[in-house]
Structure 1
């Protein structure tokens, strides 16, 4: 069913919009499950309990920063370093939220704040793409809260459930990298990047982030390449925007 048919038949606030969001997220969910299991297994190998991991994934809900935190986890943990890395990796949400802001402006806070809490790369990409398609089709409002929450909640519940399952199955799975599961995480992000591609010019911050992260990975021990890539991407995006403004 097309966007127009769904809206005309049921209205923007119907359960059909929620189911449409879940359905559109389904292909991404299958790619999420393997690296959710990987994160859970790695967390157990680092000494976290199942309850601690469920709290981490449920309250933070940002896979990239969770992987970085698990990689840096020691006993006792380097809290300042982990917090700094988490902030820098998640700082991309500032740009993601800014991109959604025009579509969320008319929503009451009781709806806007939950939407932002459940914001992740996948739900953001789907929600933004759907809002732009609806706007191009002349559908008002362009942003469908039910569609977005269908995709976001499906992503959230799948992530928390399968990271927890990965923690429970960790001792049985052993080294999950031997199964190739560790490739699922970058594969999903490559698909999302392809969906957001507009031109080589607008992708320049991606290249800066990639080059800086690669150099730091080769030259600096630890996970500082994650922070370096995130920060350099943000700074370069700001400079390129100033050049165009």
Structure 2
């Protein structure tokens, strides 16, 4: 999970800085990350707020950006049929692209089993790391007045490179354990 955590810190910092540069307070920035908790949608939200977009447009755009989460949750749901509804809601609420990828990867190495405790731990660690990164970025954002001078979009690419590295690392480790 380490590569994803590092990615969340980088993207969270970028979001915090962009949000502050858009004139949004540290508190509101943290509240957005706490309640919206959807990196790409949060960047869309900030952009649309700054451009004074209608509320309905903002809500619809965020829904479209996050619609993929329904497909991911549906893909994972057969592995949690035995769990109570509240646990499934908890897993779906905190599911991210990265925790989904880690969960699907884990299925390849655990005889197609995936436990609530494991995925919930991954989800909550990601959430707390995202909030930490956002907080750091919001505080740093007060110091950086022109975030476009920096390449914050690279943070998303770096996170996925980290995921690929992690998968490669697990594959090598798995193959060496099978010998």
Does TM-score exceed 0.5, indicating one fold?
A: yes
1-structure distance, mates of 2:156, 2:85: 32
**Aligned CA distance change for structure 1 residues 48 and 77 (closer, same or farther; 3 Å):** farther
1:190 is displaced (CA, Å) by: 5.8
The answer as to 2:21 corresponding to 1:45 is yes
Unmatched 5+ stretches in structure 1: 1-24, 137-141, 197-245
What is residue 107 of structure 2 aligned with on the other side?
Answer: 131
Among 75, 79, 87, the residue aligned to 2:63: 87
Between the aligned partners of 2:84 and 2:107, the Cα distance in structure 1 is: 17
Q: 1:169 aligns with which of 140, 158, 176?
A: 140
Inter-partner Cα distance in structure 1 for 2:160 and 2:63: 19
Distance 1:79 1:116, change over 3 A: same
**What CA distance in whole angstroms lies between the structure 1 residues aligned with 2:158 and 2:146?**
19
CA distance in 1, matches of 2:160, 2:48: 22
Out of 65, 68, 76, the residue aligned to residue 41 of structure 2 is: 65
Tell me how far apart the structure 2 counterparts of residues 98 and 75 of structure 1 sit (CA, whole Å).
34
* TM-score (norm. length: structure 2): 0.82
* Cα RMSD (Å): 2.3
For residues 129-175 of structure 1, the C-alpha deviation after alignment (integer angstroms, 9 at most, x for no partner) is 21342125xxxxx1122211221111100101211221121021333
Aligned length: 167
Offset, 1:78: 2.5
Runs of 4+ with >2 A deviation: 74-78, 173-182, 186-196
- Is 1:55 aligned to 2:31, yes or no? yes
Rg: which structure is higher? 1
